[in-house]
């Protein structure tokens, strides 16, 4: 069996801090050694849950992915991520991205120069974490003689969420890793990773790690697993298909190598919106393209396709009351490879 990506668990602001702690503990018991927190505008902020998980676990890497520099100024991100890292004993990784464009605009910000905003935020963040006094006059940010009042860990890894070609290129130039969204095929990720690595080589930097978000339903009963995975995919597909009508990169993420045509996507979304059941609408192509689901062999095979694409870590979302059993099942599947 080929080398498989590292496993982590994706938690998010739609969950209470208590639920996050339960999943983090179950993941650690299952041998899954990292968690990532997805934070979206208007859901729960993830700092409370991340702090609770840092105290409730002993070895897990704690990832904030992603903060966006519209909702949080980069000086505030440095303040919070340094303190969280201190609390965890040096286990933190930081993810940063431009956020959900429509939500950011509702907050009164323009996303017209989102990539410039990210570049400037990362420059300010790195300098603050190194303990420097920062004076920076840019397009998005202007800070004067700013310095943290405590000593943070200077080498906290900074991951950047990226999907479009310019963002992927920038990620290779300035970040320690890339975070790839849900609903991105292995074929799309392979092209993105190739561009990422080329950019990093040109910049003379080490190859960044690649974290891919995916729903996960690992069960001995393949049919049961696939039915549950289709429900998870159906919850996401309409919004991602709407985004794909606006952004070429979002459309490529859905289509590259999926074997699903534009007409098929459009028809599936229309049927889902009309109230049809996901199991009746979505066939196995959707499961194979957008989930880690099925029995142990199925999950390993799907993960191997992402490893071949250059993905180094799968951040998995688990569903329902059986999450601890599911985590234990996939943990054993990885241990047995």
Where along the chain do its domains lie? 6-222+309-335
pLDDT block averages, 10 residues each, the chain of length 337: 88 96 98 94 92 97 91 95 98 89 72 89 97 96 97 98 94 97 97 98 96 98 97 97 93 97 98 98 98 98 97 97 97 91
pTM for the model stands at 0.94
> What is the spatial distance between Cα 189 and Cα 262, in angstroms, rounded to a whole number?
19
Q: Which residues contact 109 (CB under 8 A, 6 or more apart)?
A: 70
> What is the spatial distance between Cα 299 and Cα 302, in angstroms, rounded to a whole number?
5
**DSSP assignment, residue 206?**
P
Q: Is 149 exposed, middle or buried (0-12, 13-18, 19+ CB in 10 A)?
A: exposed
Residues 256-286 as b/e (b if ≥16 CB within 10 A, e otherwise) read: bbbebeeeebeebbebbeeeeebeebbeeeb
Phi, psi (deg, nearest 5) at residue 37: -110, 120
User: What confidence tens digit (pLDDT) does each residue in 77-93 have?
Assistant: 999 999 999 999 999 99
> What is the spatial distance between Cα 146 and Cα 11, in angstroms, rounded to a whole number?
32
158: which strand partners?
94
Q: Which CATH number fits domain 6-222+309-335: 3.40.50.12160, 3.30.465.10, 3.20.20.30, 3.90.870.10?
A: 3.20.20.30
Q: Which residues contact 206 (CB under 8 A, 6 or more apart)?
A: 200
How much is the pLDDT for 100? 65
User: What confidence tens digit (pLDDT) does each residue in 311-328 have?
Assistant: 999 999 999 999 999 999
How much is the pLDDT for 37? 96
How much is the pLDDT for 111? 72
Task: Specify whether the CB–CB gap between 159 and 96 falls below 8 A.
Answer: yes
Phi, psi (deg, nearest 5) at residue 160: -125, 130
> What is the spatial distance between Cα 239 and Cα 225, in angstroms, rounded to a whole number?
23
């Amino acid at each position: 069996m080929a080398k498989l990506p590292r496993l982590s668990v994706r938690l998010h602001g739609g969950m209470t801090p208590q639920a996050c702690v339960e999943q983090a503990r179950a993941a650690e018991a299952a041998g899954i050694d990292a968690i990532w927190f997805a934070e979206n505008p208007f859901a729960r902020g993830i700092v409370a849950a991340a702090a609770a998980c840092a105290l409730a676990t002993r070895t897990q890497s704690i990832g904030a992915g992603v903060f966006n520099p519209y909702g949080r100024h980069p000086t505030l991100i440095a303040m919070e991520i340094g303190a969280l890292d201190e609390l965890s004993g040096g286990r933190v990784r930081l993810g940063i991205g431009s956020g959900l464009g429509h939500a950011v605009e509702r907050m009164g910000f323009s996303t017209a120069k989102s990539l410039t905003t990210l570049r400037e935020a990362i420059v300010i963040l790195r300098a603050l974490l190194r303990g420097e006094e920062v004076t920076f006059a840019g397009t998005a940010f202007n800070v004067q003689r700013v310095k943290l009042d405590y000593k943070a860990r200077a080498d906290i890894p900074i991951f950047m969420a990226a999907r479009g070609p310019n963002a992927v290129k920038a990620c290779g130039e300035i970040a320690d890793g890339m975070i790839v969204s849900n609903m991105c095929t292995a074929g799309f990720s392979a092209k993105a990773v190739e561009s990422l690595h080329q950019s990093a080589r040109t910049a003379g930097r080490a190859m960044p790690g690649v974290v891919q978000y995916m729903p996960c339903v690992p069960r001995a009963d393949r049919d049961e697993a696939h039915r549950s995975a289709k429900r998870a995919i159906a919850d996401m597909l309409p919004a991602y298909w709407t985004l794909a009508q606006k952004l070429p990169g979002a459309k490529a993420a859905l289509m590259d190598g999926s074997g699903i045509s534009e007409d098929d996507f459009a028809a599936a979304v229309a049927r889902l919106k009309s109230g049809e059941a996901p199991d009746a609408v979505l066939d196995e192509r959707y499961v194979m393209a957008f989930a880690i689901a099925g029995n142990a062999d199925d999950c390993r095979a799907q993960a191997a396709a992402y490893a071949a694409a250059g993905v180094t870590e799968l951040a998995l979302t688990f569903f329902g009351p059986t999450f601890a059993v599911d985590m234990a099942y996939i943990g054993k599947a990885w241990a047995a490879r």
